């Protein structure tokens, strides 16, 4: 047998084995990461002491944020109120939910509840600042009552989310795992995103 062809065959065999190992690693490793993510997603969707899951808490905060903007619009002649309201609207308008009529690959691996949860987290610092600004603005008795209710609802939802220690701890560990270069490459190839983690809660 020709030595060149023998060398070629050895190279081909080695390359084939390496490729098979890499493919196996990405398939098995990706499946393992996906299974772990789904397990933690189940905790994310699990109910707290009031029978409300984290996603619903995020929606509750976003709804109260929208109500806050309605109240703030009555006092838009105040420059600080108008400026902070605009910042919140920019965050809220960034939510682009997938349309069943026009599905896009961008949402293949995006959970709508996670998108809302992340939007809530980004909006919270601006919401608190606007509520603080409104304390120094002369408002009607009705507006003051609405602001008190909105503030109380948001604080309560934040507290209930923070009490979900199982999800917070599991998500933090999973995201830390994805920061490993090895698992990061696998997760990127398999389209696995980090789990949503609220960092702007009280």
Q: What is the pLDDT of residue 45?
A: 81
Closest CA to 146 of 62, 66, 78: 66
Q: Are 60 and 157 in contact (CB under 8 A)?
A: yes
Q: How confident is the model at residue 110 (pLDDT cuts 50, 70, 90)?
A: low
Q: What is the 3-state secondary structure (H, E, C) of the chain?
A: CCHHHHHHHHHHHHHHHHHHHHHHHHHHHHHHHHHHHHHHHHHHCCECCCCCEHHHHHHHHHHHHHHHHHHHHCCCCCHHHHHHHHHHHHHHCCCCCCCCCCCCHHHCCCCHHHHHHHHHHHHHHHHHHHHHHHHCCCCCHHHHHHHHHHHHHHHHHHHHHHCCHHHHHHHHHHHHHHCCHHHHHHHHHHCCCCCCCCCCCC
Q: Which of 67-71, 72-76, 107-111, 171-175 has the lowest mean pLDDT?
A: 107-111
Q: What is the pLDDT of residue 108?
A: 45
Q: How confident is the model at residue 99 (pLDDT cuts 50, 70, 90)?
A: low
- The domain ranges of the chain are 1-44+165-202, 51-163
Q: What is the pLDDT of residue 31?
A: 82
Q: What is the pLDDT of residue 188?
A: 82
Segment 75-79 shows an average pLDDT of 93
What does the angle CA 81 – CA 68 – CA 47 come to, to the nearest 5 degrees?
140
**pLDDT tens by residue, 17-66:** 556 655 555 565 678 888 899 898 888 887 666 667 888 899 999 999 99
The pTM for the full model equals: 0.78
Q: Are 178 and 192 in contact (CB under 8 A)?
A: yes
pLDDT of residue 3 exceeding 80? no
Q: Which residues partner with 53 through β-bridges?
A: 47
Q: What is the pLDDT of residue 101?
A: 53
Segment 82-109 shows an average pLDDT of 72
**pLDDT tens by residue, 116-134:** 899 999 999 999 999 999 9
Q: How confident is the model at residue 150 (pLDDT cuts 50, 70, 90)?
A: very high
Identify which has the larger pLDDT, 91 or 186: 91
């Amino acid at each position: 047998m020709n030595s060149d062809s023998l060398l070629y065959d050895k190279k081909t065999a080695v390359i084939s084995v390496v490729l098979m190992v890499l493919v196996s690693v990405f398939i098995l490793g990706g499946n393992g990461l996906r299974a772990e993510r789904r397990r933690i997603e189940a905790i994310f969707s699990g109910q707290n002491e009031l029978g409300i899951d984290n996603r619903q808490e995020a929606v509750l905060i976003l709804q109260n944020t929208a109500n806050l903007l309605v109240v703030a619009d009555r006092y838009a002649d105040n420059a600080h109120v108008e400026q902070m309201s605009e910042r919140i609207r920019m965050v809220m308008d960034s939510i682009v939910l997938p349309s069943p009529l026009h599905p896009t690959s961008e949402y293949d691996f995006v959970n709508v509840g996670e998108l809302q949860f992340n939007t809530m987290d980004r909006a919270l610092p601006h919401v608190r600042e606007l509520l603080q600004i409104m304390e120094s603005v002369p408002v009607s008795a009705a507006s003051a009552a609405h602001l008190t209710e909105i503030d109380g609802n948001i604080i309560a939802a934040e507290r209930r989310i923070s009490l979900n220690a199982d999800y917070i701890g599991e998500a933090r560990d999973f995201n830390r795992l994805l920061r490993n270069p090895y698992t990061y490459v696998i997760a990127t190839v398999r389209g696995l995103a980090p789990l949503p983690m609220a960092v702007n809660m009280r």
